[in-house]
Amino acid sequence: MSVDVSWVPDALRRAVPWVRTSGVEFGEVTTTRAVAYLPDHEELRNHVGGPHAAMIFGLAETASGAVGLAAFGATMERATPLVVRAEIGYLKLARGPLTAEAVLTRPAAEVLADLDAGRRPEFTVAVAVRDGDGAETTTMTVVWTLKPNRAPRAG
């Protein structure tokens, strides 16, 4: 059975102003994979004419957030997804528009079982960024957590 996650791109645009400001666009989004795009705009470039490293990081992190939101959006009432840490490798100079493909590396059912057991689960998203020629220019690993929401205080 397929889960409808078509709401994820609009939710990210509304909740994360940087997504709107940077011009990130979304392609396929599922509960295990998300694809995001960053157009090639001069104001997003660095001193050597490629996309600035901060823009590449932002695109990759946004793609990882899209797959995480798709996989765990139903838990938002009881837990908030937060980045714990990220590691990025800039492999070669990127040129032109970028495509980031983010893949959930831990089954969502395992993560939810940890949350249901009262633990604060972590899950990893692997991201590959390709440039306009399709060459892989950047890899990133983002570790997320589902932080349980506190119950409202009485009184």
**What are 1-45's pLDDT values in tens digits?**
578 999 999 999 999 999 999 999 999 999 999 999 999 888 777
- The dihedral sign for the CA sequence 39, 81, 16, 31: positive
* Domains defined along the chain, listed by start: 8-147 (3.10.129.10)
- Predicted TM-score (pTM) of the model is 0.93
Q: What is the pLDDT of residue 154?
A: 65
End-to-end CA distance of the chain: 43
